[in-house]
């Protein structure tokens, strides 16, 4: 099958053999695509190599044969955002989520649009936590694993003053007041869920409550193997000296 003029974002690139690359992209019409880019390591192919760096927005032609497609041409459509520090780690996390959860050759135009927005927000320097929580929400929704955030799994409206655990199969479950501390640490506030449902950034405390709540849902879909980016965040936290 011939893929022509596909708009895509580069998710991951690695060397293959002596002169080639294996590239994963998220396409607008064809979803996630694995590409073989042959002969791109020579001194005259630096423009093509630059177009195949992670976060780059490209237009490509390819020929699909089995699981992988042979890249014919690719051109950059813009300049990829230059990210460093926490923003670069956030981009790595977003790319890893897509690589792990989005199946190949399964079109998800909503995911493509969500990725484009997250990429733009990272480039503008917007709140990293809010950018990531919105993308996690949109990713789950696009892949058919989302659920309502303005009511619980039984259809009862979310109470802003309560806390909720996110059940991957059922949706929000309200915590009882006598639940243990561990349950509360992985529960989101009702205010945070309502804000996320309405696409409104909550205050910092409520926003922070969404991180572990959504991570529990993502962990369910990822299975036993977690994400490298989560491991990196854990290592970074251990290396960062505590403030007195």
Q: Is residue 244 part of a domain?
A: no
Do residues 161 and 233 both lie within one domain? yes
Whether 191 and 107 map to the same domain: the answer is yes
Last residue of a domain, one of 76, 103, 129: 76
Q: Are residues 57 and 172 in the same domain?
A: no
| Count of domains for the chain | 2
Task: Give the domain range for residue 41.
Answer: 2-76
Residues 64 and 163 in one domain: no
Instruction: Please indicate, yes or no, whether residues 91 and 131 belong to a single structural domain of this protein.
Output: yes
Residues 116 and 183 in one domain: yes
What HEC string does the chain produce? CEEEEEEEEEEEEEEECCCEEEEEEEECCCEEEEEEECCCCCHHHHHHHHHCCCCCEEEEEEEEECCEEEEEEEEECCCCCCCCHHHHHHHHHHHHHHHHHCCECCCCHHHHHHHHHHHHHHHHCCCHHHHHHHHHHHHHHHCCCCCCCCECCCCCECCCCCEEEEECCCEEEECCCCCCHHHHHCCEEHHHHHHHHCCCCCCHHHHHHHHHHHHHHHHHHHCCCCCHHHHHHHHHHHHCCCCC
Tell me which of 35, 54, 76 is where a domain ends. 76
11 and 130 both lie in a single domain: no
pLDDT of residue 186: 87
* pLDDT at site 17: 79
CATH of residue 112's domain is 1.20.1440.120
The pLDDT of residue 38: 86
Shared domain for 40 and 143, answered yes or no, is no
Residue-level pLDDT at 242 = 45
Same domain, 227 and 168: yes
- pLDDT per residue, tens digit, the chain (244 aa), is 899 999 999 999 998 877 889 999 999 999 999 999 987 766 556 678 788 999 999 999 999 988 899 999 999 999 999 999 999 999 999 999 999 999 999 999 999 999 999 999 999 998 999 999 999 999 999 999 999 999 999 999 999 999 999 999 999 999 986 555 556 778 999 999 999 999 999 999 999 999 999 999 999 999 988 899 988 876 544 444 444 4
């Amino acid at each position: 099958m011939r893929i022509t003029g596909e708009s895509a974002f580069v998710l991951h690139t690695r060397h293959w053999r002596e002169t080639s690359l294996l590239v994963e992209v998220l396409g607008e019409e064809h979803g996630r695509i694995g590409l073989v880019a042959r002969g791109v390591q020579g001194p005259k192919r630096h423009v093509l190599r630059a177009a195949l760096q992670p976060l780059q927005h490209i237009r490509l032609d390819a020929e699909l044969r089995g699981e992988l497609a042979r890249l014919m041409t690719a051109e950059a459509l813009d300049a990829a955002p230059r990210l460093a520090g926490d923003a670069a780690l956030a981009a790595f996390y977003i790319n890893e989520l897509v690589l792990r959860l989005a199946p190949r050759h399964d079109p998800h135009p909503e995911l493509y649009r969500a990725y484009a927005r997250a990429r733009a927000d990272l480039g503008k320097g917007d709140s990293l936590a809010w950018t990531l929580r919105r993308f996690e929400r949109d990713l789950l929704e696009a892949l058919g694993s989302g659920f309502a955030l303005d009511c619980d799994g039984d259809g009862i409206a979310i109470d802003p003053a309560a806390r909720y655990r996110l059940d991957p199969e059922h949706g929000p479950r309200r915590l009882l007041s006598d639940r243990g501390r561990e349950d509360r640490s992985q529960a989101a506030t009702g205010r945070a869920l309502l804000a996320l449902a309405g696409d409104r950034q909550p205050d910092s405390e409520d926003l922070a409550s969404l991180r572990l709540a959504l991570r529990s849902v993502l962990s369910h879909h990822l299975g036993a193997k977690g994400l490298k980016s989560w491991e990196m965040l854990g290592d970074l936290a251990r290396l960062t000296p505590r403030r007195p």
